[in-house]
Structure 1
């Protein structure tokens, strides 16, 4: 909290204050940006601001549109989010990054306000309550989460090894929904269910437990390439914890090589051997 400013407009505040609070916070963030500093602003959440703006507009007898929001509600959020920018060196080199939060009703991502904000931002992370209650945390719906920056923000080695990860998970979610209604499954369906279940376990992450890229790469490589198929699904989390400890204690040279970012067949062979050796010792 030492480097945090909170602009609070609670549910008990009047609608005009809830409407103005995001703009006040943005103005403070712009001060840091314009003075050559880097700031992150989190809007929690813009759905409430839109509701407050709708209340004000209806009281002012402005004509309502879709879902009773005024016609310029898109401009409300676009003019706010477009103030987040990276300045060039001539103007100090500061930056302001915006992270807006939107509440969906019943998981409906196609509602008016969510689609408006999605069209403005560089992507979205869709969190699903059902996944959360099933123990998948962070509860990210891979199929509905999109990055318009895409692999441009990834290192070369992560791009190479994690390229098929999202496809596997999307196929798994689709197949799993139908598999519970049928008992006779073909080989390809069983393969997708087996691989997807293990990848889902691999991607579970505890709170306040960030992972370095060089540690993520061997773990994702192991899951995507089927090197963990011999390990029961309920043992994947245990294997991952032991493997991470093994990497940081005994494979520091390999981690340094991965962090260099150079992708070579020799490096891939080393990663494969380290994973296979650890899987063999884990299952024996």
Structure 2
């Protein structure tokens, strides 16, 4: 990849001590002598080639630089100039709806941006404790199982972890899609998707999906595909974070998805080994923890003195055979504020999203959950955990008492209610209504066999949503459950609300319809 000075708007003064020469270059890494005043993270230019790089290894007699371009064009003894500036990228609202590479340059083939964009360092120090505020505003994913039991707040860092092909990316993408329900006239949450080591076709499919769902207008895609160099894959998450921080620092809200940090760690390992750094556990360099922590610590909620903006991070990590004790998963679990664990066995059983509630946790908890949803979920997590425990013993014994049978039936019902199709995030008021219907026993009378026939739940849900979407009923109930109406109002009580009467009336209508 070749860049020009005009593209990066580089302004620098060349001094004698700022010029060095290439000793060796191979596999995207160049060793340079003569740059004694270089800093880690500083940009260099390989003169006559219009190729740029970044200093990553400072040694006594030489500097190890990663190359952002075709290293085959660089030869031994080529001149290298220190540009006296850290790697920076263009940021701004003009990047919404666009696809950029690991250095923030447009790669979607659309019109160039004519406005002069602000530039920010790709790597910046995370906001200090004094600038932060506790997380309390909800960021809804649109998934019933996540929003009800693993709520995510604006400014939180929630890891999505699991084996490959278990639906990790789907949850992250649907979280972006779900923001369109709350991003109507005044956009609330700006999104940045960072694809690291993904196939180019996957990035194109994502772009088309977001365009089709009208979600690309508030989203920027940062793509460092598998075909690109390890240098660009290493830089991509820092570039995406700088783009997202622009919104946070201007008092707005942003969501960033790193898909995935396992491939980012592999790219960093490749560069580190080429730079002759000693390998450690699982062949990763010891500072891979620091590489991820300084990235994820930049996600936070700012306080009143700094604009009340927020940056929420959803890093994705791939495990091998469900092993959470791997080096990278344990590193990032210790950095983040909770994890959503996707289990392969649940996925193949048809329970999707395949979230293992027992191994998943949100350390912010119900503090960032809308109050209406908090009321209906209650002990939902406990009931599901009890169901899965009883289920293990029930398969060995057909002679089950009524109490145990009730627990199993209720658990089977709740498991089915919490299932959800991909790319179909659910609005908050719909989540509240269907979970309330399950929790208060409105669905149970329509299920004949809890062990074999749970298809009635899908019919009930579709008919219920169709019922409440009709004219005056929709005008009555939808505003009640909008995002912030009951986020923290503890005087809200379902028993004094007409919603229970609505469900009773619907059940009567549905019963007649089922038996006619």
- What is the deviation of 1:15? 2.7
> Residue 2 and residue 228 in structure 1: after superposition, are their counterparts in 2 closer, same or farther (change >3 A)?
closer
TM-score, normalized by length of structure 2? 0.50
Q: Does 1:65 align with 2:280?
A: yes
Paired residue secondary structure (1:141): coil
Distance 2:423 2:231 in 1: 36
Q: Is the counterpart of residue 282 in structure 1 residue 510 in structure 2? A: yes
The CA deviation at 1:257 is: 4.7
What corresponds to 1:167 in structure 2?
Answer: 382
1:144 matched to 2:359: yes
Distance 1:280 1:5 in 2: 47
**Secondary structure of 2:321's match?**
coil
1:154/1:87 Cα in 2 relative to 1: closer, same or farther (>3 Å)? closer
Aligned partners of 1:30 and 1:96 also within 8 Å:
yes
SS of alignment partner, residue 13 of structure 1? coil
Matching of residue 251 in structure 1 with residue 466 in structure 2? no
Relative distance call for 1:98 and 1:265 in structure 2 (3 A) is closer
Matches within 5 A, 1:86-101: 86-101=301-316
Asked if the contact 2:443–2:460 (Cα under 8 Å) also holds between the matched residues in 1, the reply is no
Q: Offset at 1:79?
A: 0.3
Q: What is the rounded CA distance, in whole Å, between the counterparts of 1:188 and 1:219 in structure 2?
A: 24
**Equivalent residues in 2 for 1:121-270 (5 A)?**
121-232=336-447, 233-249=454-470, 251-252=473-474, 253-257=476-480, 260-261=485-486, 262-264=491-493, 266-267=495-496, 270=498
Question: What is the alpha-carbon root mean square deviation over aligned residues?
Answer: 2.6
Does structure 1 conserve the Cα–Cα contact (< 8 Å) formed by 2:273 and 2:279?
yes
| Of 255-264 and 115-124, the range deviating more from structure 2 | 255-264
How big is each residue's C-alpha offset from its partner over 1:194-248, in whole Å with a ceiling of 9 and x where there is no partner? 1111112212223343333333223212212333222222201110111122223
Q: Which has the higher contact order (CA 8 A, sep 6+)?
A: 2
SS at match of 2:267: helix
- In the other structure, the counterpart of 2:65 is none
> Residue 263 of structure 1: CA displacement?
2.1
Q: 1:47 deviation in Å? A: 0.7
Q: Write the deviation string for residues 81-130 of structure 1: whole angstroms up to 9, x where unpaired.
A: 11123334544443322221111111222322112212222222222333
8 Å contact 1:215–1:247 — kept in the other structure? Answer: no
The Cα shift of 1:186 comes to 3.1
Instruction: Structure 1: give runs of 5+ residues left out of the alignment.
Output: none
- In structure 2, stretches of 5+ residues that fail to align are 1-215, 448-453
Which 10-residue stretch deviates more, 31-40 or 100-109? 31-40
Give the 3 Å change call, closer, same or farther, for CA 248–87 of structure 1 in structure 2.
same
Q: Distance in 2 between matches of 1:256 and 1:29?
A: 30
- Provide the rounded CA distance (Å) in 2 between the counterparts of 1:33 and 1:46: 22
Residue from 112, 122, 138 that aligns with 2:327: 112
Deviation at 1:277, TM superposition (A): 3.6
- Kindly state the Cα deviation for residue 70 of structure 1 after the two structures are TM-superposed: 2.2
Q: Distance in 1 between matches of 2:299 and 2:480?
A: 36
Q: 1:160 to 1:104 in 2, by over 3 A?
A: same
Q: Could you tell me how far apart the structure 1 residues matched to 2:371 and 2:219 are?
A: 34
Tell me how far 1:135 sits from its aligned partner: 3.0
In 2, Cα distance between the equivalents of 1:75 and 1:154?
Answer: 31
Which range moves more in the overlay, 9-18 or 238-247?
9-18
Q: Equivalent of 1:84, from 293, 296, 299?
A: 299
Select between 132-141 and 251-260 the one with higher mean Cα deviation.
251-260
Shift, 1:78, TM fit: 0.7
- Matched with 2:118 is none
Which of 255, 258, 273 is the aligned partner of 1:43?
258
